[in-house]
Amino acid sequence: MKHYILILSLFISILDCCGQGDFRDSNLPIDERVELLMDQLTLDEKIGFLQHNNPAIERLGIPAYSWWNEALHGVARNGFATVYPMPIALAATFDDKSVEEMFSLVADEARIKYFESQKKSQFGDNTGLTFFAPNINIFRDPRWGRGMETYGEDPYLTAMMGTACINGLQQKFDNKYKSLACIKHFAVHSGPEATRHSFNAIVSERDLWTTYLPAFKRIVKNTDVSMVMCGYNRLNGEPCCTNDALLVDILKNQWGYRGLFVTDCWALNDCWERDTVILRHKTHETAAHAAADAFGSVIDLECGSGLNALRDAVNQNLISENVINTHTYKILKARFLLGMFDSEQPTPKATNTSFFDDKALELARKSIVLLKNNGILPIKINEYKNIAIIGPNAADSVMLSGNYNGTPRNTITILEGITQHINSLPKQNRPNIFFDTACYHVGKEYKISKDFYKKIAKCDLVIFVGGLSPELEGEQLEVEAEGFLGGDRTSIELPDIQRSILMKLKSLDKPVIFVLCSGGAVALDWENNNTDAILEAWYGGQAAGTAVADVLFGKVNPSGKLPITFYSSKNKLPDFESYDMTNRTYRYLTERPLFPFGFGLSYTNFDYFDGKFDPKSRTLKFKVKNSGKYAGDEVVQVYITNKNDVNGPYKTLVGFKRIHLLIGETRNMIFKIDDEFFEVFDESLHQFKKISGGEFTIEFGYNKIDIKI
């Protein structure tokens, strides 16, 4: 009889459970499914979801999952994957539409790799669908080593490119997200790398709201971005990941953000660890107090290893179980939105890898910026019998991938790209190629072969491929080289060894084309005066070599524009650790730079005319004509100068559009300028205010319109 009662009770329990529904039933509303799962979790299981490595819950058939995955410019650190140009290069395209298409392809590739990992029972870091990208910090100073991860120095361009990334990664199919995106690092983070775990960024209220926050604000207000990651640094004394003024007052309350709040990886450790090697903030007494301060506020997910600390905080009554429930609910809902708990997870359709490769080549081509051309480009191949390709970046395939990258299935170096182009020509038109690395990126040791200068003397043209390397600039690197420190630069000049080689090449009285690869601006005063052409090729990804060759030989008309200012060596940069925007970026620079933001030459000419602005509708109209001898793309840019705002910015980008024009073609352009660009920040009111009347200058192309509203 007792056995009968036990079996009956179990049967009734099963019926009750079935009556409540199954959290794997994709026909139920997601909120209901989350509640069904939450009801079955213990407190420790709930806490387990609040660290980036979610442990498996075997009794419910839930596998482990890692939230830590990277997709800065392609699926990273997960085997073979397409490697697109670095974000700074993507910004140079000024083509947010193509960038969105690219990140949609990244999400497709990520889905494919995710299911491959699932089949192999691989659930660790870099196997999932939640990506800590994009990096939308402002590239305020060329010395910052991680600037290559950003979309440049302008808040509006950064916001538009960041939006493209998010919309691409978070595209939906079968009513589920392909993947989830995360904007980082909130906020005011751009070096120094060597002391980022203890650095306190002191920022004025004006600079905070006019430079460092606008991209975050625009993206939060105009997308459904799933995650925001707080930075390592302190902001005005308080670590960003426990900074209620930043996370609660601004992000949550003022902007209405309701997505996930994520810490940078092991950032909470900086609050409490007493380290003898790495300087840290040390603002909290214990790990439990730091966890309570973060999760007791708005942090939902810690990238790190703080589960024990969070459990201790609960045990010590520093944080309640109700708060844990709130965070766990948000985490689970995000995973449901990816289809991870469906009985049949949505499977991506097979995608031809040629789609990925084609987009990588397209964006590499569009990113290249022609900084100087005395007429030598495009190369007239019939005029040269012997071409020398020299320099440390010519045959460097690793450099092209930048950082936070995957492993490309195939990389075309710049040497290979040029060689392949020449070999595609009829034999009678093919010049001979001589290659020598010549030197390392830095140092005093040459790599020149003995017959170097003899062979150069026989060449008709020299292409020097140099610049920087991700081995020298990047995230918290251990680098001991002149001009570099901890991943940042201490000098913006081209390394001495490379300039020395260029001087020797110049002395041979040969035409020299300089192909520069870098993650940021380099002071090129001597190079600009002593070479015949300069191309900025960035870290252009797997197809960079083909793209550079296409531009050099005229298959592609260069169309990239600088997303950063290229300072002259004569420009006196402010102290690197100062976050004051005075004399920084094109928006506040008082001196003439070598190459300004938005600059980039073409093989053709574009004329702008018939500009008209309607103050009531805030609409600008004008025409653009290709008046040159080549078809090509033009990046049309619109800037505004607010003459009422004496503290700047002096001018700021308010609109852009990439267009393609055939020879002689004219295009009508229409830009509606957002009302926010006609506001000023009032420090006495601690906010922006609309201007009822005032004077402005609007620039488009080479024209200006002075208006009063």
- Res 3 pLDDT > 60: no
User: What pTM was estimated for this model as a whole?
Assistant: 0.96
Task: Let me know the angle formed at the C-alpha of 670 by 565 and 633, rounded to the nearest 5 degrees.
Answer: 55
Percent of the chain with pLDDT over 90: 88
- Res 121 pLDDT > 70: yes
* DSSP notation for 372-431: EESS--S--GGG-SEEEEESTTSS-HHHHT-SS--B-S----HHHHHHHHHHTS-GGGPP
Grouping H, G, I as helix, E, B as strand and the rest as coil, residue 696 is strand
Strand-pair partners of 484: 481, 489
All residues at 6 or more sequence positions from 616 whose CB lies less than 8 Å from its CB, including other chains: none
438: left (phi over 0), alpha (psi -120 to 50) or beta: left
Percent of the chain with pLDDT over 70: 96
pLDDT of residue 18: 45
- Alpha-carbon distance of 299 to 294, in angstroms, equals 5
- Of the candidate CATH numbers 1.20.1250.20, 3.40.710.10, 2.60.40.10, 3.10.105.10, the domain formed by 606-708 belongs to 2.60.40.10
Which residue among 95, 473, 645, 699 is the active-site one? 473
Quote the DSSP letter at residue 131.
B
Torsion of CA 174, 176, 178, 183, to 10 degrees: 150
Q: Tell me: the pLDDT tens digits for 279-324? A: 999 999 999 999 999 999 999 999 999 999 999 999 999 999 999 9
- Res 15 pLDDT > 80: no
381: left (phi over 0), alpha (psi -120 to 50) or beta: alpha
Q: Tell me: the pLDDT tens digits for 348-401? A: 666 778 999 999 999 999 999 999 999 999 999 999 999 999 999 999 999 999
Contact 291, 239 (CB under 8 A): no
- Alpha-carbon distance of 242 to 456, in angstroms, equals 59
- Alpha-carbon distance of 154 to 137, in angstroms, equals 10
Average pLDDT of 688-700? 88
Contact 96, 166 (CB under 8 A): no
* DSSP notation for 221-286: HHS---EEEE-SSEETTEEGGG-HIIIIIIIIIIT---SEEEEPTTTTHHHH---SSS-----SSS
Topology of domain 363-571, CATH: Rossmann fold (3.40.50)
- Alpha-carbon distance of 177 to 180, in angstroms, equals 7
- Res 13 pLDDT > 60: no
Contact 89, 538 (CB under 8 A): yes
Largest Cα span, the chain: 105
> Among 364, 397, 369, which residue's Cα sits nearest to residue 90?
364
Q: Tell me: the pLDDT tens digits for 437-485? A: 999 999 987 776 667 988 898 999 999 999 999 999 999 999 989 999 9
Q: Tell me: the pLDDT tens digits for 127-177? A: 999 999 999 999 999 999 999 999 999 999 999 999 999 999 999 988 899
Q: Tell me: the pLDDT tens digits for 639-676? A: 999 988 888 899 999 999 999 999 999 999 999 999 99
Task: Let me know the angle formed at the C-alpha of 43 by 42 and 47, rounded to the nearest 5 degrees.
Answer: 120
> Among 466, 657, 652, 418, which residue's Cα sits nearest to residue 559?
657
pLDDT of residue 7: 37
pLDDT of residue 345: 73
Strand-pair partners of 234: 200, 239
Q: Which CATH class is domain 25-60+183-337?
A: alpha beta
236 vs 20, residue with greater confidence: 236
Task: Let me know the angle formed at the C-alpha of 89 by 133 and 446, rounded to the nearest 5 degrees.
Answer: 115
Helices of type H across 39-95: 43-48, 87-93
The pair of structure tokens assigned to 368 is 């290249």
- The span from the first CA to the last CA of the chain, in angstroms, equals 90
All residues at 6 or more sequence positions from 188 whose CB lies less than 8 Å from its CB, including other chains: 137, 201, 203, 208, 212, 231, 233, 235, 240, 579
The pair of structure tokens assigned to 601 is 């030459």
pLDDT of residue 221: 98
pLDDT of residue 141: 98
Q: Tell me: the pLDDT tens digits for 67-86? A: 999 999 999 999 999 999 99
**Cα separations in angstroms, 203 against 182, 198, 579, 587, 631:** 24, 16, 6, 17, 46
> Whole-number mean pLDDT of the chain?
94
The pair of structure tokens assigned to 383 is 């005029």
* DSSP notation for 287-345: HHHHHHHHHTTT--BBSSS-HHHHHHHHHTTSS-HHHHHHHHHHHHHHHHHTTTTSSSP
| 244 carries an active-site annotation | no
276 vs 172, residue with greater confidence: 172
Contact 398, 351 (CB under 8 A): no
- Alpha-carbon distance of 408 to 364, in angstroms, equals 14
Q: Which residue has the tokens 């395209």?
A: 93
Which residue among 45, 101, 153, 264 is the active-site one? 264
Residue 572, phi then psi, degrees to nearest 5: -90, 105
- Considering only 134-148, 484-498, 609-623, 673-687, which range has the smallest mean pLDDT? 673-687
pLDDT of residue 450: 67
- Res 114 pLDDT > 50: yes
Q: pLDDT tier at 516 (50, 70, 90 boundaries)?
A: very high
- Alpha-carbon distance of 183 to 228, in angstroms, equals 5
Q: Give residue limits of the domains in the chain.
A: 25-60+183-337, 363-571, 606-708
The radius of gyration of the chain's CA atoms, rounded to the nearest angstrom, is: 27
- Alpha-carbon distance of 574 to 577, in angstroms, equals 8
pLDDT of residue 348: 65
| 645 carries an active-site annotation | no
